[in-house]
Amino acid sequence: MALLDEHLTPEEITKELDKYIIGQDEAKKCVAIALRNRARRRMLSSDIAEEITPKNIIMIGPTGVGKTEIARRIAKLTHAPFIKVEATKFTEVGYVGKDVESIIRDLLELAIRMVKNEKISAQEAKLQEGVEEKILDLLLSNRGNQSWEWEGTNSGESPRVDVVFPTSSLSRTRDKLREKLRKGELDERMIEIEVEESTVPIEIVTTSGMDSLGIDLKDAFGNLFPPRRKKRKVRIKNAREILFSQEIQRVMDMEEVTQEAIRRVEEDGIVFIDEIDKIVSPPGGGYGPDVSRGGVQRDLLPIVEGSTVLTKHGPVRTNHILFIAAGAFSHSKPSDLLPELQGRFPIRVELSPLSEEHLYRILVEPYNSLIKQYIALLSTEGVTLEFTEEALREIAHISYELNQKMENIGARRLHTVVEKLLQEISFNAPHLRGQTITIDKTYVMDQLTSILKDEDITRYIL
């Protein structure tokens, strides 16, 4: 049970999601079970584990109720490669536009960056130490001179400091330079370093077709025209970044990074396909050759079903990637999807519209709530922002009423209302330093009532 114990239980997953998403308990349970099943699968023998595929999910509900946020949060919880795509952005193979296999290629690129960043973080202290030693070597390269000068960066003046480099005290000199380097006193000092410059004579634009065949034209031409090294004079603060990048290239095993990224995509990848209802064929219209609807569904099917996608980094199997689809389905229903595609999304969960109470809780409860964000933003200007309970209730009430009267955009309505409410304060914040501003119900009514009365203006502003 050791491996299973390392993962969050379904209950723990839903509690973590509760910190950021209000309501939608059924959807949280579905994704929590899907994540737990991944951990359970890893404990099985390889022959049966290969047969167990993820139970893909379709989330049904209006915009702004938390569909995307649930998918994004579970990816963060599990540190899994995650990508969100809109189904309407893809076209059928043979037409101009993005093909659905680019989803997997983009997911792999994201996973490579993720693995690379993790390896950099794990070795950052050692890499920075190597950069520091290289800079010291460059600074001491003129140690044959009896005296040496550099410009300091303390205060507004640029004092000149003489440093003597007798051979016997080279170690002490290096230590003194290291101390000044760490304090930033040498940041403006100019040093000469070697940098690589591309020698490819033309700009290479990689097409999706070439990429799907596993061909990387940039690498191919890069091998034909190897980069040349050139010396450049740069400030030490800029040299740090250049040398750090060079150190990363020197120690990073990209083959190992790529293989780990492919493994993560295949075993832990999560793809969130939004607006899937927009590629549903109209009821009674059949599927036909419509490039934006039935054709895209047919192309999605093998990827969701489980196939091998060729990328420039190697083949990627999609059999165990978790696919979460979402859509409002206001003018269609999931049963209008291709029957084969429906079968690959066996779990369907309906997310409920947000009530006034939900909107109030969204304002105040999540770790990243909108009110907390605005309080933090204005604190940078030295302005203390406070909200009364009545004001928060009124903001939720107004947002709810606007959703009922106009297009229901869910929690996103809170952004438009709060932004309009705090517009004047945000604009004048630099002149309000040191002040504490209390937002009460009266202030909310004063700022928004006049707009709410004029329905035409409301449609444009809120």
> Which pLDDT tens digit goes with each residue over 165-175?
454 567 777 77
**Distance of alpha carbon 362 from alpha carbon 374, whole angstroms:** 14
Q: What number of helices (H) and strands (E) belong to the chain?
A: 20, 13
- In this prediction, residue 229 carries a pLDDT of 74
Token pair listed for 129: 């130490």
- Range 397-424 average pLDDT: 89
Q: Whose structure tokens read 């400091």?
A: 161
- What lies within 8 Å, CB to CB, of 246 at 6+ separation is none
Question: Where does the pLDDT of residue 106 fall: very low under 50, low under 70, confident under 90, or very high at 90 and above?
Answer: very high
Token pair listed for 111: 């996973």
Parse the chain into domains and list their residue ranges.
2-111+260-350, 117-257, 356-461
**Distance of alpha carbon 438 from alpha carbon 32, whole angstroms:** 40
Checking if the pLDDT of 146 tops 50, the result is: no
Checking if the pLDDT of 381 tops 50, the result is: yes
Largest distance between two CA atoms of the chain: 91
**Distance of alpha carbon 173 from alpha carbon 163, whole angstroms:** 8
- In this prediction, residue 231 carries a pLDDT of 76
Mean predicted lDDT score pLDDT of the chain:
81
* Residues linked to residue 272 through DSSP beta bridges, in sequence order: 84, 324
Token pair listed for 49: 């584990």
By the 8 A CB rule, do 94 and 291 touch? Answer: no
Checking if the pLDDT of 228 tops 60, the result is: yes
- Range 31-40 average pLDDT: 89
- In this prediction, residue 360 carries a pLDDT of 93
CA 27 to chain centre: 22
Tell me the Ramachandran region of residue 79: left when phi exceeds 0, alpha when psi lies from -120 to 50, beta otherwise. left
Token pair listed for 48: 């049966």
DSSP 440: -
**Distance of alpha carbon 17 from alpha carbon 29, whole angstroms:** 10
Nearest C-alpha neighbor of 411 from the set 419, 401, 399: 399
**Distance of alpha carbon 179 from alpha carbon 205, whole angstroms:** 46
For the ranges 193-202, 255-264, 417-426, which has the lowest average pLDDT? 193-202
Nearest C-alpha neighbor of 317 from the set 8, 11, 53: 53
E strand or H helix at 220: helix 217-224
β-pairing, 314-317 with 308-311? antiparallel
Give the model confidence (pLDDT) of 113-126 as tens digits.
999 888 888 888 88
- In this prediction, residue 403 carries a pLDDT of 87
**Distance of alpha carbon 74 from alpha carbon 27, whole angstroms:** 12
By the 8 A CB rule, do 297 and 349 touch? Answer: no
By the 8 A CB rule, do 137 and 194 touch? Answer: no
Instruction: Identify residue 390 by its one-letter amino acid code.
Output: E
Architecture of the structural domain at 2-111+260-350: 3-Layer(aba) Sandwich (3.40)
Q: Vertex 234, ends 228 and 235: CA angle to 5°?
A: 155
- In this prediction, residue 159 carries a pLDDT of 46
Question: Where does the pLDDT of residue 144 fall: very low under 50, low under 70, confident under 90, or very high at 90 and above?
Answer: very low
Token pair listed for 162: 């003489």
**Distance of alpha carbon 31 from alpha carbon 197, whole angstroms:** 47
Alpha-helix runs per DSSP H in 140-191: 170-183
CATH number of 356-461: 1.10.8.60
Checking if the pLDDT of 232 tops 90, the result is: no
- In this prediction, residue 391 carries a pLDDT of 93
DSSP 90: B
Checking if the pLDDT of 387 tops 90, the result is: yes
